Structure 1
Amino acid sequence: MKCLRPFALLGLCAVASLLFLDGCASKAGTSGGKTVTPSKPRVEEQVAAAPVQEIPPPPEPTPVPLRSVEMAARNATGEQNIPFPDVLFDFDQYVLRDDALTAVEDNAKRLRDNHVTKVLLEGRCDEIGTSEYNLVLGERRALSVKRYLESLGMSQLQVDVTSYGKDRPLCLQHNPVCWQKNRSVHFVVKE
């Protein structure tokens, strides 16, 4: 019988471990004699429990001067890039002054020499005044240049006129020198 004692002890250990495991299971998964299987967390709970990572905003694009943007657009559309001096105007005026007459005459000569058949005159204004007023003033400036071109015998030239008023300045600083540059008519050669 002495030999059976170690086996009995082993049996007792096995029964005790089964009871222990059953006791652990009852704490985690039984309720009132019924076995409850733990459910998987729902997707909403998983998403809510996930740590929130903030995505930094994209860096601000570097502003490009308007003049460069216009030149790139003109090159993309096939417009010729023949630089012409702008025709300048006095504050709140659309009458051609003496230096403006000379600029239009020089531009007319260059148009003839380069056999240009189509040009766009862009009337512009400074930032003083309302947008509506400056659109009208820019158009009047462009029309006065167009009339002078016609008086110089440029009848074969197709001239289109537009006004940007103060909305598309050629110079972006806020000072009198820049305002004078924006009170202008700009020649754009189109083919």
Structure 2
Amino acid sequence: MNGDETGVQAPVVRWGDPYEALAAVEGAVPGLLALRGGAAGRVDWAVVERGLGTALPGDFKLLAESYPPLLFGDYLSFWTPRPGAEEAWVKATVEEREDVADLLDIEELSGVLAVYPDPGSLLVWGGSNQGDTFMWTTTGTGPEEWKVAVGSHNGDWWHYDAGAVQFTADLISGALQPWGLPPVRPEVVAVGGGTGGKA
């Protein structure tokens, strides 16, 4: 895909159950289970969702409740809120909107894609150490229908018709074509004790 178009990939099966998506990423990354339980308490989702103005997908919330913020394959950071730092995470996520808007302008996609809170727009959930951005496309009747949008640092923009956790599992396992992205090793580390925002 190049910067003036976006493509779509779909999994063979889209995991509708957050536990199935979590099991898929745990199966794709053997060392992940050793970090389970490191989330240090429950996230106050009411604070998070009120601050963002939307509910969030169940797979994302389950991952945040089960694990600390994670870095997969020394590449993909999954930005999840930490208990007690929910407002800081919301602030960091809102600040990401400006970066996404800038990317859309650079790639001349601002007429095709929009930044949350516009209807059907992009909301960031992760990124890479190479400048790739991972977002939800907030379309459908609710967050369980959101799909992943990828904005790679080299100008490739595309969608994956699954949630963020399944996307991560499928990217690492090779179940999807990583258009414009590098291979991601099946390794994981927990990152910092900050807000759970950008690593």
- Output the TM-score relative to the length of structure 1: 0.26
Rg larger for: 1
- Output the TM-score relative to the length of structure 2: 0.25
User: Whose RCO is larger (CA < 8 A, sep 6+)?
Assistant: 2
